[in-house]
Amino acid sequence: MITYVHPLITKDPVTGGELIVTRLECPESGILIEGKFSMGWIARLTPDQLAFVGLLVKHRGNLQKVAVAALEDLTVRKVAVNRMAVLERLSAGDLSFEEAMYLLRS
């Protein structure tokens, strides 16, 4: 069974503070690990930087393949970046909760 997984959020959408991971789960085995885990350097990356690192790892550091993949995957990345932009505007107080929910659902 494949379930939708939300993109990684690296900052608290309300305060902009650091987030910690408190639960890890494997859907296949049902294993749960709970505790307090730091996201380390990943927490400092913007959504665009995360997308770039993901492409770089996927293509084993081959920048030519990354460039082609980035062009092909532009629409998908724009959706993820737009969702993060809405959350950032919500945390900055530029949007109400209702406005943010409307934008995220559309």
Which pTM value belongs to this model? 0.45
Neighbours of 55 (CB within 10 A): 19
Instruction: Read off the pLDDT of residues 49-87 as tens digits, 9 standing for 90 and up.
Output: 887 888 788 888 788 887 777 676 666 656 665 778 888
For position 93, what pLDDT does the model report? 86
CA separation for the pair 70, 51 (Å, rounded): 9
Nearest to 43 by CA among 8, 77, 14, 78: 8
